[in-house]
């Protein structure tokens, strides 16, 4: 299957050029599989399954925020991975 991926902030290096592109994965791939396939887990120094919990990155799949890194992806999904939100008082 093919999914469109957009990576932001320091993760852009994991998917040149500019942190966006189409990635081909097996039909039974999960979000964690995608993270491992792109080397995001190694880049951040955390397990792929912990991207949203321990590393606090936000993941959006086809317009909806997703916390479950075990979520199965579907052909044509649009995956966007954002850095933790910071700032304020």
The residue that leads in pLDDT, 14 or 86, is: 14
Q: How far apart are CA 87 and CA 89, in angstroms?
A: 7
pTM over cut 0.85: yes
Q: pLDDT tens for residues 26-63?
A: 999 999 999 999 999 999 999 999 988 888 899 999 99
Q: Give the closest residue to 84 by CA, choosing from 10, 3, 18, 34.
A: 10
User: Is residue 77 reached through a cis peptide bond, with omega within 30 degrees of 0 on the bond before it?
Assistant: no
Domains, the chain, in order of start with CATH, read 2-82 (3.10.20.30)
Q: Is the pLDDT of residue 23 over 60?
A: yes
């Amino acid at each position: 299957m093919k999914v469109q991926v957009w990576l932001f902030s320091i993760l852009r290096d994991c998917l040149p050029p500019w942190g966006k592109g189409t990635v081909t994965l097996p039909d039974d791939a999960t979000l964690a599989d995608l993270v491992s396939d792109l080397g995001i887990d190694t880049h951040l120094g955390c397990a792929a399954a912990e991207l949203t919990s321990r590393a606090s990155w936000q993941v959006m799949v086809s317009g909806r925020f997703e916390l479950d890194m075990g979520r199965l992806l579907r052909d044509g999904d649009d995956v966007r991975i954002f850095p933790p939100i910071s700032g304020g008082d």
